Structure 1
Amino acid sequence: MNARNVPLPDVPHVVTVGLPHLTSGFDLAARLDLGTHLKVHGPLAPVTGEHLATLAEEVSLLGKGGAGFPFGRKLRAVARAADRRGVPPVVVVNSSEGEPACRKDTVLINRAPHLVLDGALLAAEALGARTLLVAVTRDSTEASVTDAFAERGLTDRRIRNRGIRARIVRTPERMVSGEASAVIRAANGGPALPPGRRERAAESGVAGAPTLLSNAETYAQLAVAARLGPRRYARTGVPDEPGTVLLTLSGAVARPLVVEVPSGVPLGYVLQLAGAPPFPQGVLTGGYHGSWIDAYAAHDAAVSRTSLASFGGTLGAGALLPIGPETCPLGESLRIANWLAAETAGQCGPCKLGLPAAAGGLSDVLNGGGQAALEALREVAQAAKGRGACKHPDGSVRFLLSTLNAFTDDLAAHILGGGCGRPTAGVLPLPGPDRHGPARYERAAPSGEKLAVDWTLCQGHGLCADVVPELIRLGHDGYPTLADTSVPLHLRPRAQRAVRRCPALALRIEQPPAAPSAPVAGKALDRRRS
């Protein structure tokens, strides 16, 4: 099995099932430069906007970044907005893969950058766009795009290649930085965070212009479809979802893989190809905003949106993560819940307060909190659902609720107090430590401590709420209202400062109750004899 607690490499090993589309030429070179790319794929003729939208509709091309929005409809919306406003649109390639379990777009950008640029330039020319942006998160992807721009004569300093100016937008390696609105905000010179308001990029995106934004695989699929045509493209895969799919496999596998498979291939075959356990406890589908399915569903499901959805799974961002019987699935999920809580943009209550509270609630359940802890967790998760300024809270809640529904036997074992008896092996990949010390998700882990108020002393000064508003808010009566959650480690210093600043000495931090010690075997035997 793969190494535990180790981040995925930028470019995992790549495997192709059937005839390759996106991975054509990978057996010839580690990276296809422009000359090799043209030898493998051949030239690509320009296409008008109407023909390109029709092509995307005929091959049922959906966005491959997770949302699955029809690309043809998005293309038409940008074209209409540009015509109505008389403003040249902008085309954006979103290869900001900030999710630790996803590498398919990184593989495409690093190994086949010109296939991605083919699709993006095809769309740009069809729309009459003057600007092409490529958003990246990693040094390796930035270097590959820089080289590809140079090979094509694309530059930001002067317009050279068919009237199109191109540049790279660097975003941090964070979950929320890959959301479309965060990429657009970064392209406009702001932080790579969702702006907190819902705006349609097709109407107003980069520099206020209509913007066509999709991920790297979508543009690569568009380039393949334009070369093959709808009939040849549809010969691969299932009729309602033709073509191939790129998947990232990690977790309990022999080694992480990026796999290109025709849609409709049995999921069990793909898992077997990666060296997953023959009968996994569960498979996380769609990545860390996705859903768990059990071993029976993994055996019967196929690689398609429709099939996975029928078993309660999702294709999402194309990540598949099986776990074996040797690890505690709830402990594995708690690691991910802590990471998701640390990835918050900190711009709305459901994200800033709800996700740490949910992670703390899952920790309470694992530590013997009983049925009350489980009900509190469900209440916190439902309260965060559908109320966020971006999609991160919804995706995180989907993952948490799926965990509770998928591993009911383990959940019962923890609720009854004994636990499942298995350690947490750490098979689900997360980022490693950075130069500032522990990884963000480790700093966001709940400490087990809770804030408490002695109401006989509290005088409603409100100083505590100014120090740590993530955990304390003032009610309508001016007195503090405390979040019913453990104090995350990264908020512990401010929680301690709030305690020190309370002039009435009413605020305190309560330590978690000590776990009951297991009875000594000999003494237990003596009691039974008596």
Structure 2
Amino acid sequence: MSGAPIAWLGRPVLFAGLEHTERLDHRSHLVVHGRLPTMSAEDLADLAENVNLRGRGGAGFPFARKLRAVVKAAARRRSRPVVVVNGTEGEPSCLKDAALLLRTPHLVLDGALLAADALDAEQVVLGVTRADTEQSLRRALTERRSTRLPVSVARLPERFVSGEGSALARGITSGIALPRGGGVRTSDSGVGGMPTLLSNAETYAQLAVAARLGALPYREVGTPSEPGTVLLTLAGSQVVETPSGVPLGELLAMFGLDIGQGVLVGGYHGKWLTPEAAAMAEVSRQSFQSLGGALGAGAILPLPHTTCPLGEVLRVARWLADETAGQCGPCYLGLPALVKALEEVVRGGGRAALDVVETRMRAVIGRGACSHPDAASRFVASALEVFDEDLQLHSYQYGCGRSVQDVLPMPVMESAGSIVVDWTLCEAHGLCTSVLPEVISLEADGFPAAGVMPVPPQLLQQAARAVDRCPALALRIQ
């Protein structure tokens, strides 16, 4: 069984039944959890509201409100909606949804089918980017033999942007997983233009648990305002199920981790907590927000004293800039410009360089086709505030004297090979050759001159950037 190791505090709920096995097949799942009840859409919304179920993918939007919005949109348009499970989890610091899909996939399927039955949905689609999660879900569907309505698994490109709601809906519909922009909600127009209930894997798993237990038993753990358990990814490598309300410092200590120089909560679209704030924090959306952080997708990343904070932040900022969809200036141009300005700060650019960073951050906020440039800018701003002492050392002296130890997880780079063009997707944007002119040349019609182009080892990083910059997702490294 691949994937991160799992653990739990107290009695496991989402991970129930995994005490002595790595994966629950359908029969074992039914033994542990029992049969799934049938509920109307309004009863399901009332339940979700009663347990304050919010999306666990990052934004934390109330599930009941999203469900009711889909009901209204379907009635208004006289159409059957679609239910989508977001299992893409494109951030390298977050592994919780993959843990669910690999180890207890039937709990996620239960939640999605429960919602689909309540909505009289047309179909259920499970969106993933990893080969192992795709295989696990297909195996789970085979174990069930049949479902009450069509259920399919859609494999999308393994990119950060694939998990954005409109990008996922668009990718399922057309194969092009790019944010749509324009402020159209998937609850009104998602997969195939139909009203779509879209939430992440943990949210559906929590829904299935709450439906079986009922509101009062579900609320027996956690806090009154945020009942139940939450899945966290610690240091990019350990997935832990814990009741909400547990002190963050104590949780980290249980798994051999220290608050260190600060803790990034919410992942790379999240914010940094100072050591003092992290010591006061409890694992809850409310507690993190009150201290300037965000629960987000549940990634918790403490930064050890031995590494350079700004160097680590710069690594992540570069990756965030490379993960642009290439559709709008604030993302495609603004984030690389922000990274360049941040590099100057780290090299000792002083007040002038800091002024440029602040200008670049203001230039991208609120202007993108999706929330990616805003969140990337907030990540940098939060780091500059929390690591103020390190910032002074880099800006006005000779740096902090510590090396960058690559503590914050990044995707594993493929070995050098060839860059391959998918001609069915290529739209002749030409952005690839601006990044990798040594390898990719264009014909007079704007399309690449070859479909397979060898990449020298020293240009592998540029090739990866060219793949990421392609708006049509037509390139891959083989």
**Bin of the TM-score, shorter chain as denominator length:** 0.7 to 0.9
2: CA distance, partners of 1:437 / 1:283: 37
Q: How does 1:195-210 map to 2 (within 5 A)?
A: 195-210=180-195
1: CA distance, partners of 2:174 / 2:250: 45
Q: How does 1:155-166 map to 2 (within 5 A)?
A: 161-162=147-148, 164-166=149-151
The alpha-carbon deviation at position 130 of structure 1 amounts to 2.1
Query: 1:10·1:107 contact (CA, 8 Å) conserved in 2?
Result: no
Residue segments in structure 2 that go unaligned for 5+ positions in a row: 420-430, 436-460, 467-478
2: CA distance, partners of 1:19 / 1:146: 29
The yes-or-no answer on 1:132 pairing with 2:124 is yes
2: CA distance, partners of 1:319 / 1:10: 19
Q: How does 1:30-429 map to 2 (within 5 A)?
A: 30-154=22-146, 161-162=147-148, 164-250=149-235, 256-277=237-258, 279-429=259-409
* Structure number with larger C-alpha Rg: 1
- The two structures, once aligned, show a CA RMSD in angstroms of 2.1
Query: 1:98·1:172 contact (CA, 8 Å) conserved in 2?
Result: no
Q: How does 1:368-517 map to 2 (within 5 A)?
A: 368-436=348-416, 490=462
The yes-or-no answer on 1:23 pairing with 2:15 is yes
Letter in 1 for 2:264: L
1: CA distance, partners of 2:303 / 2:191: 41
The alpha-carbon deviation at position 412 of structure 1 amounts to 0.3
The alpha-carbon deviation at position 329 of structure 1 amounts to 0.3
2: CA distance, partners of 1:356 / 1:319: 24
1:76–1:232 Cα change, 3 Å: same
The alpha-carbon deviation at position 370 of structure 1 amounts to 1.2
1:10–1:300 Cα change, 3 Å: farther
Alignment partner, residue 483 of structure 1? none
1: CA distance, partners of 2:288 / 2:54: 16
Query: 2:344·2:353 contact (CA, 8 Å) conserved in 1?
Result: yes
> Match of 1:214, SS?
strand
Query: 1:196·1:347 contact (CA, 8 Å) conserved in 2?
Result: no
1: CA distance, partners of 2:255 / 2:327: 39
The alpha-carbon deviation at position 131 of structure 1 amounts to 0.4
1:31–1:344 Cα change, 3 Å: same
Percent identity of paired positions between Structure 1 and Structure 2: 54
Query: 2:45·2:65 contact (CA, 8 Å) conserved in 1?
Result: yes
The alpha-carbon deviation at position 48 of structure 1 amounts to 1.0
Alignment partner, residue 473 of structure 1? none
Letter in 2 for 1:341: A
The alpha-carbon deviation at position 311 of structure 1 amounts to 0.9
1:180–1:396 Cα change, 3 Å: same
Residue segments in structure 1 that go unaligned for 5+ positions in a row: 1-8, 155-160, 440-464, 470-488, 495-530
The alpha-carbon deviation at position 275 of structure 1 amounts to 1.3
The alpha-carbon deviation at position 326 of structure 1 amounts to 0.5
Letter in 2 for 1:272: A
1: CA distance, partners of 2:257 / 2:336: 31
* Deviation readout 1:102-147 (Å, 9 max, x if unpaired): 0000000000000001110000000001200000110110000001
Query: 2:49·2:64 contact (CA, 8 Å) conserved in 1?
Result: yes
Query: 1:96·1:178 contact (CA, 8 Å) conserved in 2?
Result: yes
2: CA distance, partners of 1:436 / 1:77: 47
The yes-or-no answer on 1:13 pairing with 2:5 is yes
* Deviation readout 1:400-428 (Å, 9 max, x if unpaired): 00011010000000111311111101011
Query: 1:118·1:219 contact (CA, 8 Å) conserved in 2?
Result: yes
The alpha-carbon deviation at position 437 of structure 1 amounts to 6.5
The alpha-carbon deviation at position 436 of structure 1 amounts to 4.8
1: CA distance, partners of 2:21 / 2:134: 19
The alpha-carbon deviation at position 209 of structure 1 amounts to 1.0
1:232–1:373 Cα change, 3 Å: same
2: CA distance, partners of 1:269 / 1:310: 19
> Match of 2:217, SS?
helix
1: CA distance, partners of 2:310 / 2:417: 26
Query: 2:303·2:309 contact (CA, 8 Å) conserved in 1?
Result: yes
Q: Structure 1 length as normaliser, TM-score?
A: 0.78
* Deviation readout 1:359-387 (Å, 9 max, x if unpaired): 11111111111110111011101111111
Letter in 1 for 2:346: L
Q: Structure 2 length as normaliser, TM-score?
A: 0.87
The alpha-carbon deviation at position 10 of structure 1 amounts to 5.5
Alignment partner, residue 453 of structure 2? none
1: CA distance, partners of 2:153 / 2:200: 14
> Match of 2:91, SS?
coil
The alpha-carbon deviation at position 490 of structure 1 amounts to 4.1
Letter in 2 for 1:203: D
Letter in 1 for 2:222: G
Query: 1:10·1:106 contact (CA, 8 Å) conserved in 2?
Result: no
Alignment partner, residue 447 of structure 1? none
2: CA distance, partners of 1:14 / 1:468: 43
Alignment partner, residue 478 of structure 1? none
Letter in 2 for 1:260: E
